[in-house]
Structure 1
């Protein structure tokens, strides 16, 4: 097939052929379910799994082992991006999104059925790691498909605002998963600082968030079956612009965009998993180990308050990215993330934040609000930025690989490294880690092009378009 610049997209179907509300719901509900499944595991990885799946050894070793299985999903995500990306670029966005949702949902449901270490020994953590990997496969194909669904239906000049809908799935999924955990903790009276191994929460109640996910998956499937193919991809089908091997094509023609996209996303991942998974382990950890000793239920309420700032600033980021451009918006936000990282020691040191009964609730709420606001501002535009970097016939594969490779280097190891830094040094080094990651992303952003006016119908790489314009 030819890779010359495409003609004007006059033949494309108008986005108005499909109700805008249906596109919004279909892109939002899938990512909400997928992130719900993901965060249900993240919460359990801190508060449940170290006690019932990694029972051998001391508490710190069990926590690190649980964090390691948490990271297993991130190694599945690039594989899922390749697998589902191939299908998405060859078969279509709709069918691929359904497959990704099923993969994630079934794996999550099965985690709720797993026997524990006390029942089958080492087979328990082994099976947990396998299902966690399967969760990663599903999410690896979900995000890029949902982002493409939103951007390829968007009105010209409003792509970032349209693309923010699947991004809202992250805070919604977090609120659903952790809100349910909070209710279960309160109902059962579970105390993370003095866990009752024979109590209802650790014997069976923890399974409910995983088992209930199957209901949400059924709803998501219903919505997506009613969806139609995006007009941008349908035009590619009509003009026979698909490629036989999207993976080979994207590595051959868009390798530079893959590198830039990965590192543009890198600091976003580091920030988010510090503000969700790691901060939870730091807050509820034992005082004698240098942590804050806050009861799990109490801190979960604070996290739920913080996540509201995440959700509130995602729409703001979409407007900013459409008004001022993707690159200027992200450069400013990432620079603020550097400053925020350098301030961790001032915020979180036990002597300033307080431990146990002396814990400073107000100071922690402000810390979470600032971090989550920055998270909304950096995460919101990504579902427009990454798809805009790639041509139609490899967009699912390219954006998915960049997004999910970033998850390995920016998220898979982040809770583990942060926990180790606190144990080996002090909490200020966790902030230095965030600042260093943000500096790397600043370099990538400086090298990246502005994509606000990119033509989504093109079948050539950004580099080829620039060469053709000269």
Structure 2
């Protein structure tokens, strides 16, 4: 299990490195390079628009790679999605800017971002099923939290490389070529990920389906026909997590550097420090999720977000590194409470024959609702006026209320065998002589 979980973690870390890297670049440099005729605000909005294209592509990737996972196996998804995302990311680093090729530059940027999203839409489903379908029922949330930790590592890698380039280069050098280096590094990471995954075995659940001839003929059609309500509920429930992450990791960079005048290395450092502490929280919260259930952890994360969004926004508006870090840390804790168990929760909601498609579709649709729109909405509602951007806090609070309602309508999925074993243990303890 440790070898499988580590390979799964490495893959999601690499894929989310690619995806997060684009978000950081969109906040810092892509606007003036690819949309130079726009005003600074319009250029940032346009760059965030191309950022959102990746999220729109993710459900499409979930359908395409989900079909592959449910028909051909989970293992092929892990290779093909990694190759696609890695190649698209390296290509972004090689792309000429608007000054060189004109309007073709933003068109190609949008296309490559779409391909990035396609690959990531398939990666998550394959990675979590690799661990969930091998894991013992009583430790399923823990092992499935490994791929959920991968995005934090990927974000740290992406922003760490971007921070290093920003620190050692002048503004002119960074804008001219320094921002490209992290994109080129994605090719090396993708090759390492493919090597690590080369010896992985297919999951027992899929082998059992294949041996019995019970694979779904048209997984997406079956999910839409029989599980459409479940897909929409999970998408609505998870949208808060995306909104939190991309408020902190993408929009806040643009807001801090452009509105507050904070140096970009300081902003990146504050966000990265919070993510460093968030990483270990995810497996710790997953252990608790194996004890108390998936749904209670998710409800607790939503409730904490409702309480924290306004203080987090006020702390960000101070422009002081310590206060901004504390604001991001609180948001990271609420995110960890929810997403620590999602790797087990979503697959457990679906039968194995459509699990890859159903779980990935709900997860990636949430990215459209919460991830694609958040930087654009947050930039628009904070574009004028003095003081903290309370419109951003109100937007996040609304997202938290919606997610809380959706989680309240979802069932608990912690395996019945685990609950029964705990009940038998409690009964035996109660019957034991004093």
Structure 1 residue 344 displacement after superposition: 4.2
Contact conserved, 1:73 with 1:134, CA < 8 A, in 2?
A: yes
1:284-335 deviation line (CA, Å, top 9, x unaligned): 11xxxxx211011121111111111221211122012111111111111211
In the alignment, the residues of structure 2 paired with residue 345 and residue 68 of structure 1 have an alpha-carbon distance, to the nearest angstrom, of 23
Structure 2: give runs of 5+ residues left out of the alignment: 418-434
SS across alignment from 2:58: helix
Residue of structure 1 equivalent to 2:286: 318
Residue of structure 2 equivalent to 1:139: 120
Residue of structure 1 equivalent to 2:372: 412
Q: 1:174 aligns with which of 136, 145, 155?
A: 155
Residue of structure 2 equivalent to 1:356: none
Structure 1 residue 25 displacement after superposition: 1.9
The answer as to 2:333 corresponding to 1:360 is no
In the alignment, the residues of structure 1 paired with residue 107 and residue 193 of structure 2 have an alpha-carbon distance, to the nearest angstrom, of 29
Residue of structure 1 equivalent to 2:189: 216
Residue of structure 2 equivalent to 1:433: 395
Contact conserved, 1:341 with 1:433, CA < 8 A, in 2?
A: no
Structure 1: give runs of 5+ residues left out of the alignment: 1-19, 191-198, 286-290, 354-358, 456-470
In the alignment, the residues of structure 1 paired with residue 343 and residue 203 of structure 2 have an alpha-carbon distance, to the nearest angstrom, of 16
Structure 1 residue 424 displacement after superposition: 4.8
Structure 1 residue 57 displacement after superposition: 2.0
1:194-235 deviation line (CA, Å, top 9, x unaligned): xxxxx2211112111111111111111112221110111111
Change (3 A) 1:346 1:45: closer
Q: Number of matched residues?
A: 415
Residue of structure 1 equivalent to 2:68: 87
- For residues 24-43 of structure 1, what are the structure 2 equivalents within 5 Å? 24-43=5-24
Residue of structure 1 equivalent to 2:216: 243
Structure 1 residue 368 displacement after superposition: 1.4
In the alignment, the residues of structure 1 paired with residue 168 and residue 201 of structure 2 have an alpha-carbon distance, to the nearest angstrom, of 43
In the alignment, the residues of structure 2 paired with residue 40 and residue 47 of structure 1 have an alpha-carbon distance, to the nearest angstrom, of 11
In the alignment, the residues of structure 1 paired with residue 288 and residue 260 of structure 2 have an alpha-carbon distance, to the nearest angstrom, of 37
The answer as to 2:100 corresponding to 1:119 is yes
Contact conserved, 1:268 with 1:379, CA < 8 A, in 2?
A: yes
Residue of structure 1 equivalent to 2:268: 300
- For residues 202-351 of structure 1, what are the structure 2 equivalents within 5 Å? 202-285=175-258, 291-349=259-317
Off by >6 Å, runs of 4+ in structure 1: none
Please state which structure has a larger fraction of its residues in helix: 2
SS across alignment from 1:168: helix
Residue of structure 2 equivalent to 1:98: 79
Contact conserved, 2:310 with 2:390, CA < 8 A, in 1?
A: yes
Contact conserved, 1:46 with 1:63, CA < 8 A, in 2?
A: yes
In the alignment, the residues of structure 1 paired with residue 413 and residue 52 of structure 2 have an alpha-carbon distance, to the nearest angstrom, of 31
In the alignment, the residues of structure 2 paired with residue 379 and residue 427 of structure 1 have an alpha-carbon distance, to the nearest angstrom, of 26
In the alignment, the residues of structure 1 paired with residue 206 and residue 380 of structure 2 have an alpha-carbon distance, to the nearest angstrom, of 45
In the alignment, the residues of structure 1 paired with residue 30 and residue 416 of structure 2 have an alpha-carbon distance, to the nearest angstrom, of 45
TM-score normalised by structure 2 residue count: 0.93
In the alignment, the residues of structure 2 paired with residue 345 and residue 79 of structure 1 have an alpha-carbon distance, to the nearest angstrom, of 33
SS across alignment from 1:375: helix
Change (3 A) 1:345 1:101: closer
Change (3 A) 1:103 1:454: farther
